[in-house]
Amino acid sequence: MSVMPRRITKAAVFWQAGFILLLVFALVLAVRNIDANLARAGISVSFDFLSSHAGFDINESLIPVSSESSYGEVLFAGAINTVVLSLICILGATFIGVVMGVLRTSNHYLGVRVALVYIEVMRNLPKLLILLALFLAAINTLPPVRQSWALHDMVFLSNRALYFPALEAGSGMRLLIVFACLWPVSLFVLGRVARRIQDTSGAVYPVFWPVTGFFAAVVAASVLFGWVDYPISYPVLQGFDFQGGHRISIQFLVLAAALSIYHGGQVAELVRGAIEAVPKGQFEASRATGLSFLQMMRLVVLPQAVRIVVPPMGNQYLNITKNTSIALAVGYSDLVSVMTTSINQTFRPIELMTLSMGVYLAICLAVSFAVNAYNARVSLRGG
């Protein structure tokens, strides 16, 4: 059944154009008012300070920064930390939410009640309280650096950080980066080819495991035959801290756990609602064919529930991205933390807050675009 396109009347165009003009006028008026007030106070808006030395370190960064770095560099490092933390929390909340949402709709007596308690507790506790409780528990429970818990003398955990071996920069690192870029591209291209073949001939060709196995086999062969060097750095205790390898701070681990657990409860409720929105006949038909509960969920119910749950999940992903700003409470150097320190040193709140708002807006728009693109892909096409 086709849907007739909605007619756009002249009155609708007039009122929408008038509303847009009103917003533009209000924005211009606000900017002029702020500029006039700053001029009276002898303050000028300038971003020249971004090239000046920041004079402070950040406790964790994926790019090399130091006290000699500029404000622009440390702000960029903080933005990267925010993006990485957001992605980890989105993945963690999705995994926990799907598991708890499925468990909530199962017939397992204990599982249903465990999921119910988890969802209700997470939905009725403030996320900052959860974060501080986990942080204090980690700081007071985990040992100091010199008494770190060790796993085969390669991985160490203390109340400061998690230390583990890391691949050093070199040809091996470059090869892995290239493969990491080619892997999703190959999955996308070959997936489209496989779907086109399936639509025309009905033949089904697997894509994920063959492509993943190919790249894994190439890396394994390069290691076995020595084609590429993969130097590995191991953490070694020297003095009061570990040297070598890589580390993930306790602040990051606690943040990722707290936000994943908290938003996992929100996601679980969305998943439960989406599963219950699937027609009951689908459940009955699945049981009639002899499918187990997990098979029914994986093959029948969840593929249909995805179409229902994706739009509200996008809102949760945006909330997760914005809620990473509570990292300031435990001293993790995200964008807000770096921005606050920079404001205290430069007295440039307008410029720094404007930059931070622009970065958060860009991240949220990217997340929204990705969710909308996936939603358009899985949505049913009407005809």
Q: What is the pTM of this model?
A: 0.84
- pLDDT value of position 226: 78
β-pair partners for 61: none
Neighbours of 134 (CB within 10 A): 18
70 by DSSP, 3-state: which? Answer: strand
d(C-alpha 317, C-alpha 373), whole Å: 14
Give 259's DSSP letter.
Answer: H
d(C-alpha 318, C-alpha 93), whole Å: 12
Burial of 37 (0-12, 13-18, 19+ CB in 10 A): exposed
d(C-alpha 78, C-alpha 336), whole Å: 8
d(C-alpha 128, C-alpha 106), whole Å: 31
- pLDDT value of position 283: 87
Q: Rounded mean pLDDT of 157-177?
A: 84
The H or E element spanning position 42 is: none
- Work out the percent of the chain whose per-residue pLDDT is above 70: 97
Contact in structure between 261 and 97 (CB atoms under 8 Å):
no
Report how far apart the first and last C-alpha atoms of the chain are (Å, whole number). 6
- pLDDT value of position 263: 95
Summarised one tens digit per residue, pLDDT across range 42-74 is: 777 788 888 888 888 888 888 888 888 899 999
Tokens representing 207 are 């894509």
- pLDDT value of position 240: 83
